Amino acid sequence: MDICRGIYNEVLSHLDKIVSLRSTKMLKPDGTFVSKGDILCQEIIFSYLNRSLDDFVLISEEADFTNLHTDSAMRIITIDPIDGTENFVSGLKEWGIGVSIYCNGIHEQSMIMLPELGLSLFSGDMIEGVSDSRICGLSSYMSSDDFIGLDNTYEYRIMGCCMYNMYNVIKGSYSKFVHLKGAYSWDILPGINLALERGLSVSIDGKPYKGEFLMPGIKYRFIVGRKLD
């Protein structure tokens, strides 16, 4: 069953309603924004999965995952209903939806969806690549001290959406994407697994990543690229 494409089609059918809620931002305790668009997108995905599957556990940025029992579930589905909410509520199109699915502890399929840009990437997709990019993507959580000592052989971009950055490094529009501060599993599992499928290198907290499941609620520092230095 192609769960990710089912989610993709379901979200597209409600996209106008999701986008209409971008002006409904609320500040969360951690200082980031959530909107009613985030919540609606999560509800749409949850509803689709509940209609379509049995024996699964859902992990989402906007849901309570503190009492999850993942050991006995056949599938663990991690979603980020809107990644780049700051962009979304500010009227930018660079926001995305990420889904990553593990079956019996093994990665099964992932998806990156950038709805307003008309872009998507699924496990098994072919993608026309770009070579010899000198751009390095950076996370938006950068302090002035973080820029000191950056390699001046790269051009740098900060786009404010992990899914967008991951799409670009997988396509080759970035040479690499670096997250110095750390991101949560829902931010990165879709992109790093799609990157591995296409032969890119992934390092998490300084160690090679091989596709293992990442627990929620923990921040992971990572680098994705064709060559890591």
Does pLDDT of 227 surpass 80? no
In this structure, CATH architecture of domain 135-225: 3-Layer(aba) Sandwich (3.40)
- What is the pLDDT confidence band of residue 71, given thresholds at 50, 70 and 90? low
At residue 128, the pLDDT reads 78
Cα 147 vs. chain centroid, distance in angstroms? 24
Per-residue confidence band for 83, with pLDDT thresholds at 50, 70 and 90: very high
Q: Please report the pLDDT score of residue 229 as a whole number.
A: 59
Question: Predicted confidence band at 146 (pLDDT cuts at 50, 70, 90)?
Answer: confident
- In this prediction, residue 129 carries a pLDDT of 74
Supply the pTM of this predicted model.
0.93
Query: 47-58, pLDDT tens digit by residue?
Result: 999 999 998 999
Average pLDDT for residues 188-217, to the nearest whole number?
Answer: 96
Whether 135-225 and 3-122 are alike in CATH topology: the answer is no
Q: Give tens-digit pLDDT for 126-140.
A: 887 777 799 999 998
Please, is 112 exposed, middle or buried when counting C-beta atoms within 10 Å of its C-beta (0-12, 13-18, 19+)? buried
Q: Is the pLDDT higher at 77 or at 147?
A: 77
Alpha carbon distance 172, 224 (integer Å) = 11
136 — phi, psi (to 5°)?
Answer: -115, 125
Interstrand relation of 155-158 and 135-138 (parallel, antiparallel or unpaired):
parallel
* CATH architecture of structural domain 3-122: 2-Layer Sandwich (3.30)
Break the chain into its structural domains and give their ranges: 3-122, 135-225
Please, what is the angle between helix 36-52 and helix 3-13, to 10°?
Answer: 130
